[in-house]
Structure 1
Amino acid sequence: MKPVRSLARVMLSGIFVVSGVRNFQHPERLVPTAQPITDRVAPLISNVAPQLPTDTTTLVRANSAVQFAAGLLLATGRFSRPAALVLAGTLVPVTIAGHPFWKNDDPMARTNNQIHFLKNLGLFGGLLLAAADTEGKPGLRWRAGHRIGHSRRSVTRAVRTARREARIAALSASTARRLPG
């Protein structure tokens, strides 16, 4: 199953790597589309980290750089689960800003944006699957639960052993007192 997972990750990440590079080099074509979203996000960024730039061009470039880097991580299988989550997070504002089909009056533009919106929704679903994929290994939740169960059993065993040894010691002491000596 490993080759299928590897190929699927590369195929899923391809669009993010390519568009990340393209949008980083030429952010100006996306600035008018991204402006409504960045205008809402900029005050939040200023409140959390006032030293960070909040202009639309920089935010488009930052999103593109994140998509490129996370796309490469996903493609190579390094930190693929966190990378998939990061990509899913970057896809939300891109989809809302880039394909608002509900705002289009022209039927052709509406259909085109709706198709791209649904495509991004499909990519989002694929990224969620990639983020949940443990590659056949137990996930953190299972491992934690298993470790807790193992620890409980160990403690229970230790308590039983201590009780048994205490009983044996008590019996030995009482037997030793009864013996003439």
Structure 2
Amino acid sequence: MLSGIFVVQGYRNFRDPGRLAVAAQPVTEKVAPLLKKAHPSFPTETETLIRVNAAVQVSAGLMLATGRLSRPAALVLAGTLVPVTVAGHPFWKNDDPTARNNNQIHAMKNLGILGGLLLAAADTGGKPGLRWRTGHRIGHSRRSVQRAVRTARREARIAVRSASTARRLPG
């Protein structure tokens, strides 16, 4: 259910990025130099970036919906939600109280969706998480080493007793 909005809106935004270009341009102008620095051949035109974001949202949304790589997909969707919220719902810039209220509601809705995506990214589907498994494996290894040390000490004591008993026996 969480992925539905990304699939639908991503599809709409991919088909018609022009309707979002004016609102997105201040954000894309700030992101473009970073993209150029990271990868010089990456396109930085506003409509192209809207389409890239939309395609990522559709594909990650479908991955989340189908349960394929859902944890990474949720993280990717969370990452795409930040610039969308900043560009699409800048309530702090609105002078009109109605527009401010409307954008503030949408920004808070996106914040709630972001929280859901972070929970989905952390969800292990009932399986122990990597942190627990690592700690459990370390504890298991530590106990194995302690057992091996106790066994080696015991065997050394037995060997010492056997050697001292063998010396006492007439030969």
Q: Which of the five TM-score ranges fits, normalised by the shorter chain?
A: over 0.9
Whole-angstrom CA distance in 2 between matches of 1:75 and 1:28: 27
- Which residue does 1:93 correspond to in 2? 83
Q: RMSD over aligned Cα, in angstroms?
A: 0.9
Whole-angstrom CA distance in 2 between matches of 1:68 and 1:165: 64
Question: What are the equivalent positions in structure 2 for 1:130-141 lying under 5 Å apart?
Answer: 130-141=120-131
Q: What runs of 5+ residues in structure 2 fail to find an aligned partner?
A: none
Could you tell me the TM-score, scaled by structure 1's length? 0.91
- Say yes or no: does 1:76 pair with 2:66: yes
- Say yes or no: does 1:34 pair with 2:24: yes
The partner residue of 1:166 within 153, 156, 160 is 156
- Say yes or no: does 1:23 pair with 2:21: no
- Say yes or no: does 1:119 pair with 2:109: yes
Whole-angstrom CA distance in 2 between matches of 1:35 and 1:173: 86
Whole-angstrom CA distance in 2 between matches of 1:35 and 1:93: 11
Q: Which segments of structure 1 move beyond 3 Å, counting only runs of 4 or more?
A: none
- Which residue does 1:157 correspond to in 2? 147
Structure 1 letter corresponding to 2:161: L
Structure 2 letter corresponding to 1:153: R
Secondary structure (helix, strand or coil) at the match of 2:2 reads: helix
Secondary structure (helix, strand or coil) at the match of 1:54 reads: coil
Structure 1 letter corresponding to 2:120: A
Whole-angstrom CA distance in 1 between matches of 2:108 and 2:82: 12
The partner residue of 2:97 within 98, 103, 107 is 107
Shift of 1:66: 0.8
Shift of 1:119: 0.8
Quick one: percent identity of the two aligned structures? 77
Whole-angstrom CA distance in 1 between matches of 2:8 and 2:167: 86
Structure 2 letter corresponding to 1:84: A
- Which residue does 1:8 correspond to in 2? none
Whole-angstrom CA distance in 2 between matches of 1:171 and 1:59: 78
Aligned residues: 171
Secondary structure (helix, strand or coil) at the match of 1:74 reads: helix
Whole-angstrom CA distance in 2 between matches of 1:173 and 1:49: 72
Shift of 1:76: 0.7
Whole-angstrom CA distance in 1 between matches of 2:169 and 2:145: 36
Whole-angstrom CA distance in 1 between matches of 2:22 and 2:170: 101
The partner residue of 1:147 within 132, 137, 141 is 137
Cα deviation, 1:149-169, whole Å, max 9, x if unaligned, reads: 001000111111111111111
